[in-house]
Amino acid sequence: MKLNRARTHRSRKNPSEYISFNDHLATRYVQSRLWKQRCGPSGLHLFDRISGLNILLDEIEVPRELWSSSPRQVSIALTNKCDLACVHCYASKSYDELPYEDVIRWIMDLDANGCLGVGFGGGEPTLYPRFVELCQHAFQNTRLSVTFTTHGHHINNRMTDQLRGNVHFIRVSMDGVDETYEAIRGRSFHAFKQQLKLIQSISPFGLNIVVNQRTLPDLDKAVAIAEAGGAYEILLLPQIPILWKPGIDDTSLQNLQEWVMQYQGPLRLSIGESYSAGFPTCDPLPEENGLRAYAHIDAKGVLKRTSFHSTGVQICSSGVMNALGILYEQT
């Protein structure tokens, strides 16, 4: 969910910006770029993965039988391995890892069925043995937008050179700053800021911040660091209660809402959908929700509605689209 209080930039590197077809830029972009087309209840959706620009032709009524069958975005947990032990993390610490060939087959099928982007995660995706090769394949052999979420500490000069030009956007996890960050993640915050310089040289990036009573007071400093580091976006993720881990408390959530309402900075803000109620969000595709908008594949190969769901459908030899059909039926 995008927060409509954040200022938007009409930059070629600004991902997921929507313009109307009558905009004078639209004709020029349509003529000069290879667009990914997606059909749905909102009309014909054109997407340019290089700029991140979207055009929605909402005056076109697309018959239901022609709607794209894939979710608009799919996240894939390549591995459950992670060398950090953040106190709020709900992810499994098992050694489950997806077979490379399966991931390739799944993303090819998703691409062919109207998916616009895949986001690789984990665990820590840079610990996946063929991570760079996977990003390169997805970039070069599909029309998907390729993104990944990382803590950033394993990105070195060699990986930077290999990923540059093969990913479209990077999401970097940063929960709190200075002592807060170090207490939560057990890593040097100074070293983290140095890593941002490498990440910035790969592609546009944004910061993910899990918001709770501990990290909320650091938001102003986090924004300053994001601006100085060249980030394009901050994704606010109010902590969700999972198993024995509590979620964000009511007071902190209210304070976060007030902070968002008062924010006047240049960075775009986004909010986790689970807590979007009460925030000034802007959803350009309100009719394309649920599995039409998003799905998650965990490191055991189970297709879920979100990463927070405990159940889903195992992706078998019949493929990811068959698993998606079964998940639809379970609605």
pLDDT digits 0-9 by tens, 153-192: 999 999 999 999 999 999 999 999 999 999 999 999 999 9
**How many Å separate Cα 48 from the centre of its chain?**
16
Phi, psi of 145 (to 5 degrees): -75, 130
3: number of Cβ within 10 Å: 19
Q: What is the pLDDT of residue 300?
A: 96
With 0.85 as the threshold, say if the pTM is over it: yes
- pLDDT at residue 238 is higher than 90: yes
Calpha distance 65→43 (Å, rounded)? 13
pLDDT winner (highest mean) among 78-87, 135-144, 244-253 = 135-144
Q: Can you give the pLDDT at residue 29?
A: 46
The one-character DSSP state at 296 is: E
Q: What is the pLDDT of residues 32-53, one digit of tens each?
A: 457 899 999 999 999 999 888 9
Confidence of residue 114 (pLDDT cuts 50, 70, 90): very high
Q: Is the pLDDT of residue 16 over 90?
A: no
**Number of Cα atoms under 13 Å in the Cβ half of residue 100:** 11
* Total Cβ atoms within 10 A of residue 328: 13
pLDDT of residue 329 exceeding 60, the answer is yes
Q: What pLDDT, on the 0 to 100 scale, is given for residue 24? A: 44
Tell me what pLDDT residue 3 has.
54
Q: Residue 31: is its pLDDT beyond 70?
A: no
Provide the token pair at 27.
Answer: 């004709």
User: Tokens in use for 231?
Assistant: 């980030």
Residue 75: strand pairing partners: 119, 296
267: CB partners within 8 A, 6+ apart: 6, 223, 226, 227, 231, 232, 233, 234
Tell me what the pLDDT averaged over the chain comes to.
88
Q: Which amino acid is at 296?
A: H
The pLDDT of residue 1 is: 58
pLDDT value at position 242? 77
Look at residue 298 and tell me whether its pLDDT is greater than 90.
yes
Q: Within a 10 A sphere around the Cβ of 93, how many other Cβ atoms?
A: 11
pLDDT of residue 32: 44
The residue type of 314 is Q
Q: Please check the confidence at residue 108 and state whether its pLDDT lies above 90.
A: yes
In the chain, the percentage of residues whose pLDDT exceeds 70 is 88
Q: Give me 240's structure tokens.
A: 């969700």
- Alpha-carbon gap, residue 283 to 33, rounded angstroms: 25
